[in-house]
Amino acid sequence: MAHCERASKPLLQCLQKASTRGLPALQLSSTRAFQTSARVQEEAQSEAQKQPFNKSPDPALVSSPRLERRLIRQGISPVGSRRRRAALQGSANIPFAQLPYQCFQEARKVLLQDREEKLEEITRLREKIARLEARPTEEAGGEQVKKSRLGGMQKHLEHLKVLADINDPQVKKKFEDGQGDMSKPIYRYLADQKWREYRRKILVQRITQMKVVPDVLPHCDPIVDTKLYFNRSAVQPGDFVQANASTTAPKLDIQLFEGGEKLVTIAVVDPDVPNLETDSFDFRTHYLAVNVPISAISTKVDLAQLSADSQVVLPWEAPVTQKGSPYHRLSLFILEQKDSQPLDFAAVKAKESVRDNQLLRTLQGRYHLKAIGAHLFRSQWDETTLEVMEKIGFPLADVELRRKKIDPLPYKRRNPSTFR
Amino acid sequence: MLQSRFLTPMRLLERAIAPSLRSSQSLTRSSTITPSSILPRPISATPSPLSSRLLLPLSQVRHASHASQGAGNRHSRDPAGKRLGAKRSGGEYVVPGCIIFRQRGTKWFPGENCALGRDHTIYATEAGYVRYYLDPELHPDRKFIGVCFEKEGKLPTPRNAPSRRKLNRVAVPRIEIADESPARSDLTAHVGADGVVVASVDAATAAQGGPQLRPGYMYREANWQIGRAAEKAGITAKPYNSKNRWLAWRKRQARADRAAQMKSLKNKKKTKKGKGGR
């Protein structure tokens, strides 16, 4: 008996007791013990040609680590926790509505009633919004008033949509199993909460501690979850990426938590290009693409696959760091275009043809962009940098940076006359 | 402690009244007056200021017992100064590593281009001009010391402005670091075409390393040969298994037992010594 199976034994005992008393119809199916052999026998009688479990394990029921690994290798991830999967192996998997617990059913009734109330409220609010929209502007008290009232009502409507489903155990289960439908507001809301709980905090900490936010852009409040992949391996915000891994453009997974589609501009900027003449650092744009559509359901963006004649302004340039130079921060920003209107690609391409010292602040002001997402990775000199430099024709490959020696302050007499 | 604190004002009072007492009473009696004797006396006993001032120079008698009070540990109460404080004032030019402020605890915090040392000393990390400033946006009640690149520059910089940095590097031709000669050890590693090949020292070196006169006037084998004695004898240790908690528990128990034994031995020695001393 596996560890998880032993752990879920009390649950099973509870189930057995309840079913023998409360629900005779389900007694047969729910009083089975954890021994899978009995079940296999039953099923063997019903359908003889069924494959054994260890040949084709069910992702919802598999509990042994070996079978789990096999599933993961096939590209199927097991559903939920191992403990839950082990418990489900022996249970009859009765739907919530038929579970034989009186208190549970009473509680469900309360939740269902609450949901009914919320749905009623939603229909009422929808009617109200329709009425307000139908009214002429003068009667509603001016354009500004009408607009603000409509905006407030829409916001409340979205809130009600979330409230209607937030207490549903089925919704919670689906979301936790990763089967949530992101086109529905409730799952978007839950995903947003989950992102804000940990991943967003990490991201914000990285971009502020590594000073990306005052250096590249004055301000950024991320509202989309961005994941970055180089060669199918995910990069955490702020990770060092090897030079040969970042020769090809990364793939992005941009999760929007709002309904509708947005057109965004994606820019990768390096604010750490050493400049020996001015003894400071320059900027360099490694990538720039405009009019990239993102939405809650279509999240994958491959920077290498974007169309060169309508989206990519500056194609990907592999980041390399000279030997001895401080590490380079490659900051990726996702900037929302104003009112999700497409930018004039030809005009942008004509204007933004220079990579060096192109400030993202300037672009932001010029095209009325707003930063809604960010990511960050770093690059430094490593063993693969040299070959990448040769491949891309980096001009300063044979130059190394050394720390400049700063002259010490002149010697000061320890016992000057003022001390005496 | 409490009593003595209570008595100090009384002592002062006594000092003030003593002359007047002396004027009224005999000198011998006034010198023996103790604070306790003065306690119940009403405050109205304070003499007129004129008479006391007249008699003051006469009454300044400091006896030896009184003068030496507290002199024994005066220096421990008032230790030598630690030379803390500002070493560079605002606007002064500093270079990296230059100490700007010595302090106990963080009276001042390191601001831009400054760092905090092990003993909270603030030193410069860039060459520039020292600034002492407040940064209410960063922290409402901290005082900061920063280094500014320009002589007339101002700190703090606005929160949204890009940070001002200096490269402080020079370009030199890149030099390939040649492979260092392999370190001498009993196991030699060569990076070949098919990965790293690890082998023992060759026979010639091994033969050379027999018992010889070695540092410390000892005729013995080389350290690396001694180190491989167990291997030669064919003694193998069990591979460590982190899941073998039973073995781990036994080992921990053995160590605890040994520690307890050592402790008891130590105590025994102490007691014996004490007895011997008597």
Backbone phi, then psi, for B69, in 5-degree steps?
-65, 125
Residues A41 and A174 in one domain: no
Facing residue for A323 by CB, picked from B94, B163, B174: B174
Residues A167 and A210 in one domain: no
CATH 2.40.50.100 domain locations along chain B: 85-148
| A276:B163 CB<8 A | no
Residues A256 and A364 in one domain: yes
User: Is residue A392 within 8 Å of A320, Cβ to Cβ?
Assistant: yes
| B162:A323 CB<8 A | no
Q: What is the pLDDT of residues A288-326, one digit of tens each?
A: 999 999 999 999 999 999 999 999 999 999 999 999 999
Residue that terminates a domain, selected from A175, A195, A215: A195
Residues A106 and A211 in one domain: no
pLDDT at A299: 94
pLDDT at A200 over 50: yes
SS3 A200: helix
Segment (H or E) for A127: helix A102-134
Residue A215 token pair: 């250096």
Residues A376 and A317 in one domain: yes
- At residue B16 the predicted structure's pLDDT band, cuts being 50, 70 and 90, is low
CB pairs under 8 A between A and B: 70
Number of domains in chain A: 3
Residues A13 and A136 in one domain: no
Taking the C-alpha atoms of residue A326 and residue B100, their distance in angstroms, rounded to an integer, is 26
Taking the C-alpha atoms of residue A85 and residue A77, their distance in angstroms, rounded to an integer, is 12
Residues A281 and A373 in one domain: yes
Taking the C-alpha atoms of residue A331 and residue A360, their distance in angstroms, rounded to an integer, is 11
Listed in sequence order, the DSSP H helices in chain B are 2-24, 27-31, 35-38, 49-59, 64-67, 74-77, 203-208, 223-227, 229-232, 245-277
Asked, for residue A412, whether it belongs to a domain, the answer is: no
Residues 6+ apart with CB under 8 A from A121: A160
Asked, for residue A355, whether it belongs to a domain, the answer is: yes
**Considering only CA atoms, which of A82, A62, A83 is closest in space to residue A73?**
A62
| A402:B170 CB<8 A | yes
Residues A180 and A289 in one domain: no
Residues A24 and A85 in one domain: yes
**Considering only CA atoms, which of A268, A280, A380, A365 is closest in space to residue A324?**
A380
Residue that terminates a domain, selected from A145, A179, A195: A195
Please state whether beta strands B143-148 and B109-110 pair in parallel, antiparallel, or not at all (unpaired): parallel
Taking the C-alpha atoms of residue A246 and residue A328, their distance in angstroms, rounded to an integer, is 13
* CB-based contacts of B136-140 (< 8 A; 24+ apart in sequence): B139/B109
CA A167-A169-A173 angle, to 5 degrees, is: 125
Residues A388 and A274 in one domain: yes
Residue B256, judged by CB atoms within 10 A of its CB (0-12, 13-18, 19+), counts as exposed
Pick from A1-10, A174-183, B3-12, B66-75: least confident: B3-12
CA dist A211 to A107, A376, B84, Å?
Answer: 50, 11, 33
Read off the DSSP letter of residue B149: S
Facing residue for B166 by CB, picked from A219, A280, A396: A280
Listed in sequence order, the DSSP H helices in A141-278 are 143-165, 169-176, 185-197, 199-209, 212-215
CA end-to-end span of chain B: 36
Percent of residues, chain A, with pLDDT higher than 70: 87
Residue B57 token pair: 């120079």
Residues A188 and A222 in one domain: no
Residue that terminates a domain, selected from A98, A130, A150: A98
Taking the C-alpha atoms of residue A305 and residue A118, their distance in angstroms, rounded to an integer, is 44
Please list every residue in chain B whose beta carbon sits closer than 8 Å to the beta carbon of residue A325. Answer: 169
pLDDT at A102: 94
Q: What CATH number did the domain enclosing A281 receive? A: 3.90.280.10
| A399:B160 CB<8 A | no
User: Is residue B8 within 8 Å of B16, Cβ to Cβ?
Assistant: no
Asked, for residue A408, whether it belongs to a domain, the answer is: no
Taking the C-alpha atoms of residue A60 and residue A67, their distance in angstroms, rounded to an integer, is 12
Could you count the other beta carbons within 10 Å of the beta carbon of residue A254?
23
User: Is residue A242 within 8 Å of A384, Cβ to Cβ?
Assistant: yes
Range of the domain at A237: 198-392
ipTM strictly over 0.90?
Answer: no
Could you count the other beta carbons within 10 Å of the beta carbon of residue A223?
18
Backbone phi, then psi, for A261, in 5-degree steps?
-110, 150
The overall average pLDDT reported for chain A is 87
Backbone phi, then psi, for B61, in 5-degree steps?
-115, 120
Residues A202 and A180 in one domain: no
| B169:A404 CB<8 A | yes
Asked, for residue A278, whether it belongs to a domain, the answer is: yes
Chain B CB within 8 Å of residue A218 CB: yes
- The pTM score is 0.68
**Considering only CA atoms, which of A355, A335, A332 is closest in space to residue A207?**
A332
Question: For domain B85-148, which CATH number applies: 3.40.50.1980, 1.10.490.10, 2.60.120.10, 2.40.50.100?
Answer: 2.40.50.100
Backbone phi, then psi, for A404, in 5-degree steps?
-80, 140
Average pLDDT over residues A107-111: 93
Q: What is the pLDDT of residues B61-117, one digit of tens each?
A: 777 777 666 666 666 777 889 999 999 999 999 999 999 999 999 999 999 999 999
